Structure 1
Amino acid sequence: MKRFLLFILLFSVLVSGIKFFDLIILTTTLANSLYLASIGTIILYLILSIRFKVKLTTFDKGILVFYLGLIINIFVMLLYSNLTLYKTFFGTLNLLGFFFYFFLKRLKPDTKTVLQIIIVLSFIVSILMLAQQVVKPFPLFNHLLEHENFLVQRGTVRARIPGMAFVVISCLYYIELYFQKFKLKHIILSLFFYVIIILQGFRSITLAISLCIFILYFSSIKKRSFFSVRNLQFILILLIAVIGILQIPYIQGIINGILEAQKNTVEIGSENIRINAAIYYLIEIKKHLWMYITGNGLALPFKTPDGLFAVDLGIWGFYSLAGLVPTIGLLWLLWKGYCLSPDKFMKLFFLYMLMNAFLFNAEVLRTGIFYIYSVMFYLLEEKNSNLNDHHKY
């Protein structure tokens, strides 16, 4: 019973934190209110359960550096811009999700509970993505209208569904699980999640997850067992599944749209919209040299003439607004996540995020992603702790 209640509590706080309730049938105000309630619940609990003698872990230190940089950014912007404390607070609100990591450390859920939450949310997100494809061009989420992130092109609905990173985690998790238990259902589930990711129609995301799957596959093959029955079974099932998926006209349209977009990008060359946006954010709006250190301010409503926000440039846009210290802190956290992960699916999730960060993709900074990072940091530490305890005995 206690484990079930803990599951419900964590699930509720998490779905509110990633703005799952921003559905079109509800209101943006409700989604924002639940997000504030999520952050408020976390901070209140942390204050009530505060500990003064705590040994800082790797991620504790990285998160503290990250927030120290944000404090510097906020302080400088309040002094040298027209921003009010109110606007500054709401401009940085999305970045408070790292507090969920400390919340998890206080509650200490077991790894099985955390994995169950990830998988349940992956299926919910997948169902919403499929539903979005069915009801297009009608958007299911309010933010798809407000931030011009809802486009029907490349043969699909290019929509950012909250919590899509959970689908990436589950896709990689089930592939690794197959090489541990060799069950057909794990391949089917991983392919299902892979198709959901492709349905977004984003080139860099498709490239990053495909590369991660490729690495996961070859890293899971034991030496001298390439031609083993189970390995050949995996290759055969995968080929049949991929060929079958590619025969679906809807999927063909998405793949052709992605390839056509890439062709157009190559032909355009220096006129690429993201290159122009990078020049705008990294050079044109920098009025003072110290802004290359402190950033221009996260609460400022910067937008390029082509309609791109800084977040659309991934880590480059984040650096432009947040400054050097938070950017180094975030990259260091993702890199440490990659280096310290005991499981391949976790390691490759962090690699996936690092690739998207440098490929001018907003995935690394999407609403709620800091909650998801927190989940993975906690899961990583718990698994490493369990491994260390096992080795002692």
Structure 2
Amino acid sequence: MMVTEHKQRLQGIMIFLLVILSLNFFFARFVTTSMLKNICYAYMLGAIMLSIPRSFKVGNGFVLPVQLISVSVLLSIFLAQISWKQDLTYFTSTIPYLLWIVFFYLLHIRFPIAKLEKITFFYGWVYILLFMYQYTHSHVVYFGFREEFAEDRGVIRILFPGAGVFLLAYYIALNKVMDKIKYRWVFALFILCGIVVTVLQVTKQSIAILLLITIFHLLRTVSVGKKVLVMILAGAAIYGTLNSNNPISRGIIESQRDNVQQGNQNIRILASEYFVNDFSPNLLSRIFGNGYPNLKSNYGKFITILEDNYGYFLTDVGIVGMYAMFGILPIIAYVIIFYRGLRMQVPPEYQYLKYYLFNLLATCLTSDSIFSISFILTNVFVLYSLQVLKEQKQSTTLMKV
């Protein structure tokens, strides 16, 4: 018994450390520019090697989609060499994208969902605190890869790395704030802080989705009349805020006006057309992807030219960017994930899993949330939790029969 408890404790510590190390301590400059980065990558590689022997399994639910994504990332290492002559020694750049395989390690050890919630919620608070510190010290870049934070949309815009744990923690808090528990105020405080952090990052889509899901969740058990009243009040509040002439609202309105005026010349549309039609040098890469570009290779330098000269960013075109790097297999995988995940019935206390999945779907064309290092591990946590719930339901059904 003591041995089992000790083993479970070690597994918990391993997953806890994997989150922060996979994020390079939220891509802190003191990590990404030092030997500490090598330690982070070595730890991730160790977790991947530990998970690979457990990945050769047959199962329904989300097993096949995760296998498809994992295989596509692994193949992309060789495709980058075949299609772009990127040296195989640059495979280390792909290590964080192979963390999808950790899904199978979690299944193997049957890691408790409750522990994943606690780990995620802890790092959600860390994200908020570090964001606020960076926001109030914006003259120096402590986290991320920008050389400086410039004024954009009326404010100093800081898109803080590691948003996956923040979003998942927010939806966990939203789910639990309705429960009659002792520390309910902690979840309420997180929700308030989460809304503030999201607004300060001035991303229209993120603000809209977060508020939409929040209102939906808080109103799902009230009468139709109260729902209509709250929606009217919320609409009036949003309208009043957007017309309040403060820097943030002016920035959001100006950004939206620019997008409308660009029409078919919108940079995301142009970039998507290029990456789908003209980017891949051969049929093999059109099917299985071009691989992840290491910035030191000629392939990576070409990507930098596309970004600097044309404004074509793989991270700005969502699922198209994923297709360009990893091919058609992860696209098929995500179709299965969204179809099965959003149709799946889950207990009320796990509704946050579907909120997170809906957020991925809503942003899959305009952000890198479906493949970003900042999101991969929380994407894995969500799919693992859904898989466990699905298997528990199937087991219960069989027992009744």
Do the structures match in fold with TM over 0.5? yes
Q: Return the TM-score normalized by structure 1.
A: 0.81
- Name the CA distance, whole Å, in 2 between partners of 1:197 and 1:263: 21
Residue 60 in structure 1 maps to residue 63 in structure 2: yes
- Report the alpha carbon displacement of residue 124 of structure 1 after superposing the two structures with TM: 0.3
Deviates more, 1:336-345 or 1:257-266: 336-345
SS in 2 for 1:285: coil
Q: Which amino acid is 1:378 matched to?
A: Y
**What is the CA-CA distance between 1:16 and the residue it aligns to?**
0.5
Q: Which moved more, 1:333-342 or 1:258-267?
A: 333-342
Contact 1:121 1:163 (8 Å CA) reproduced: no
8 A Cα contact 1:204 1:361, kept in partner: no
Counterparts of 2:387 and 2:279, CA distance in 1: 40
Quickly say closer, same or farther: Cα 1:171–1:368, change in 2 above 3 A: closer
SS at match of 2:292: coil
Shift, 1:21, TM fit:
5.4
Q: State whether structure 2 residue 271 is matched by structure 1 residue 271.
A: no
Q: CA deviation at 1:310?
A: 1.0
Distance 1:157 1:364 in 2: 26
Task: Give 1:107 deviation, angstroms.
Answer: 3.2
Question: In the alignment, is the contact (CA less than 8 A) between 1:132 and 1:157 conserved in 2?
Answer: no
String of CA shifts for 1:57-100, please: whole Å, max 9, x gaps.
Answer: 4222112122333344444443343222123x134223111122
Cα deviation, residue 261, structure 1:
0.8
Give TM-score scaled by structure 2 length. 0.80
- 1: distance between equivalents of 2:127 and 2:47? 24
CA distance in 2, matches of 1:46, 1:27: 25
After superposition, residues 65-214 of structure 1 pair within 5 angstroms as 65-87=68-90, 89-145=91-147, 150-181=149-180, 186-214=187-215
Correspondence for 2:221: 221
Mapped to 2, the partners of 1:62 and 1:142 lie a distance apart of 30
Q: Which residue of 1 aligns with 2:17?
A: 12
Alignment RMSD:
3.5
Tell me, in whole angstroms, the C-alpha distance in 1 between the residues paired with 2:340 and 2:68.
14
Give the aligned partner of residue 260 of structure 1: 254
Match in the other structure for 2:337:
333
Structure 1 residues 18 and 203, CA gap change in structure 2 (3 angstroms): same
How many residue pairs get aligned? The number is 376
* Distance apart, 1:199 and its partner CA: 1.9
Q: Is the 8 A contact 2:163 2:375 kept in 1?
A: no
CA deviations 1:90-134 (Å, max 9, x no partner) are: 342231111221232233332221111111010000111111110
Deviation, structure 1 residue 186: 4.1
Separation of aligned partners in 1, 2:86 and 2:56: 37
Percentage identity across paired residues of the two chains: 20
Per-residue deviation, residues 309-329 of structure 1 (Å, max 9, x unmatched): 212211112212321122222
Query: Does 1:307 pair with 2:311?
Result: yes
Paired amino acid for 2:127 = V
Contact 1:111–1:379 (8 Å) recurs in 2? yes
Q: Which whole-Å CA distance do the structure 2 matches of 1:46 and 1:323 have between them? A: 23
Unaligned runs of 5+ in 1: none
Gaps of 5+ in 2: 294-298
